[in-house]
Structure 1
Amino acid sequence: MLYGIGCDLCELAHLEKSLTGAHAAAFVRRVYGEAERTALGLDDPLSAGRSAAHRLASAAANFAAKEAFLKAAGTGLREPFSLCEIEAIRQENGAPAYRFSGRTAEWVQARSLTARLSLSHEGGMALAFCTLETET
C-alpha cells in the first residue's frame, strides 16, 4: 500500500556553490553519507574517476533524493531525520536505491516501509522521485 510520494528538483549551479564555497567541507559532512561521499568523490575530488560535471550532476540528484524522501515521509527535515542518514546509492546494475542509517533507518523499519527511487538530470537540473510503500 502506498504510504507517500515525493519529488524534488535541484539546480546544479546552486548546489555547486554549496560544494565549492567556504563552508563546503561542513556542508558535505552534514548532507552526504560516507558511501555517497566516496562514490561521488566529494572528500577528495581528484580521486574520483568521473568528470567534475558528472560528479556535480550526481551530487545534485542525490540531494534531490533526500528531499524527495522527506516529502514522501510527510515530515520535512525534522527529527528523527538527518540528511546524511538518507543516502542515494547505486546498485551493481547502476539503478539508484536508498540506504538508511541511524534514526532514519529506525523510522523506516518501524513502519515496515520500502523506499523506491528514480533519478534524472538534464539541462542544469536534477530530479528525484520517491515512493514509500508499506508491506500491507
Structure 2
Amino acid sequence: MSTGAIAGIGTDLLRVDRIERIYARHGDRFVRRILGADEQLVHARRRARDPRRGILYLATRFAAKEAFSKAIGLGIHMPMTWSRAQVLNRPGGAPEIRLSGPLADWYATRFGRAHVSMTDETDIVSAFVVIEALPAAPHSKEHTA
C-alpha cells in the first residue's frame, strides 16, 4: 500500500570512468565489497557477455546505493552497508531495492516502500531514489474533518 507521503529523496550522478579505474585496481575485491550475493551473480553474467555491460551494471548499482543511503539519511554508515542493499530487477525488468540483515530491520521500523530509477550513458550513470513514509497509525475514535 502506498502512503503518498515522502520520507526521503536521494540522487547520485557518477562518471563511469571512476568505477572503471577502481575496478581495474581492485577487481573482484571491489565487486564483493559493493555488490550483494545476488547482484554478484548478475554482474558476472553481464561481464562474461560484455565487459562494458559488467562495468555499467557495477556503476548503476553503486549510484543507486549512494542515492538510497542519502534518501534514508545515513550515508554509508551502519547499519547501511553496500552489500545489505541490493538493487535487483523484478521479473518485468523494473529495478527494486532489497534489504537484508540489520539494515532491513532498521529500515522496516522507519520507512515504507523504496522506489529506484537508474539510467546509464556511455560515460555517466544516474540514480534517483524516493522513500515513502510509513503509513500513519490508525487513530483511536478521534475524527478530523
TM over 0.5: yes
2:39 maps to what in 1?
36
In the TM superposition, structure 1's runs of 4+ consecutive aligned residues that sit over 3 Å from their partners are none
Residue 28 of structure 1 aligns to which amino acid in structure 2? Answer: V
1:26 maps to what in 2?
29
2:94 maps to what in 1?
95
Superposition pairs of residues 1-136 of structure 1, within 5 angstroms = 1-21=5-25, 23-41=26-44, 45-46=47-48, 50-136=49-135
RMSD: 1.7
Matched residue of 1:28: which SS? helix
**Structure 2 stretches of 5 or more lacking a match?**
136-145
The CA deviation at 1:62 is 0.6
Matched residue of 1:114: which SS? strand
| Number of residues of Structure 1 aligned to a counterpart in Structure 2 | 131
Which protein is bigger by CA-based radius of gyration?
Answer: 2
Question: Matched residues, percent identical?
Answer: 32
Distance 1:112 1:74, change over 3 A: closer
Q: TM-score, normalised by structure 2?
A: 0.83
Q: TM-score, normalised by structure 1?
A: 0.88
The CA deviation at 1:66 is 0.3
2:140 maps to what in 1?
none
**Structure 1 stretches of 5 or more lacking a match?**
none
